[in-house]
Amino acid sequence: MAVISKNYPAPDRVQVKRALLSVSDKTGLIEFATRLSKAGVELVSTGGTARSIAEAGLPVRDVSELTGFPEIMDGRVKTLHPGVHGGLLAIRDDAEHRAAMEAHDIGAIDLAVINLYPFEQVRASGGDYATMVENIDIGGPAMIRAAAKNHAFVTTVVDVEDYGALLEEIKANGGEEAQTTLGFRKKMAQIAYARTGAYDAAVSTWMAGAIGETTPRRRVFAGELKQTMRYGENPHQKAAFYVDGTNRPGVAVAEQLQG
């Protein structure tokens, strides 16, 4: 039977010493990585992300230095390794976990900054079957889920729009050290799981359509917040409007002129 309460209550503040960055969307990456580096955070990265950071003149370690294994199979296998997942999942104040880290030379990863292969965008642009399959991210969701599970010690960022929030969190709680609070890590973990859930929903929905399965055994729905509403069905209730990315006529794609 699995032990699920080892690391709770969790520490409130955790220092961010090492960050793993692996992003498809490079928007704001260099400014963000620069701020992390200036805050004393060691940068570890993969593939094109590592090249972009290095070309900007920032110190960065390739993930292969952690794993001792090269990226193979056209990038399909690069982070699926104990050197990465051990660093994300290790319970820092557990003696057995610490001993395993020392025995296998696994360093802790305190921050995971990951956004996924652009599956939804490729689908919207009409990618063929083979292209869609290659844009199903495997390592990214695995790292996100691992980091978010261990939110007692690890901060997970999956959206570019949260870069600023993380930097503000570090600034507010850092002092001489870059730190995040438990409340912030919990919030980021929830966002992370919602992202992987939406991603899986997009993949499964696409595949059902691609193989002609009109009534799949399980159908997953996901939406992105478009705006909050003044109230729900009744004035005392809260409501929000979500969109699922479907480009079809209706209020979801309409332009609001007034009101």
pLDDT, tens digit (0-9, with 9 covering 90-100), for 155-186: 999 999 999 999 999 988 866 689 999 999 99
Q: Which of 253, 248, 204, 244 lies closest to 222 in space, CA to CA?
A: 244
* CA distances for 228 relative to 1, 33, 165, 188, 210, angstroms: 42, 32, 20, 20, 33
| Strand segments (E) across the chain | 13-15, 18-23, 42-45, 61-62, 111-115, 155-157, 179-181, 224-228, 240-243
Greater model confidence, 145 or 225 = 145
pLDDT class for 1, splitting at 50, 70, 90?
very low
Q: How far apart are CA 201 and CA 41, in angstroms?
A: 34
- pLDDT above 90 covers what percent of the chain? 51
Half-sphere exposure of 70 (CA within 13 A, CB side): 3
DSSP for residue 107: P
pLDDT digits (tens, 9 = 90+) for 180-200: 999 999 999 999 999 999 999
Q: Report H helices in 176-216.
A: 182-210
- At residue 56, the pLDDT reads 93
pLDDT for 215 beyond 90: no
C-alpha angle with apex 236: 234 to 237, nearest 5 degrees? 70
pLDDT for 221 beyond 70: yes
- At residue 114, the pLDDT reads 95
pLDDT for 152 beyond 60: yes
Q: Report H helices in 1-128.
A: 29-38, 47-55, 63-67, 82-89, 95-103, 119-124
Stretch (H or E) spanning 148: helix 139-149
Mean residue pLDDT of the chain comes to: 86
- At residue 133, the pLDDT reads 93
In this structure, what token pair is assigned to residue 222?
A: 């996901």
- At residue 247, the pLDDT reads 63
Q: Which of 216, 3, 189, 203 lies closest to 114 in space, CA to CA?
A: 189
Give me the mean pLDDT over the 124-128 stretch.
89
- pLDDT above 70 covers what percent of the chain? 90
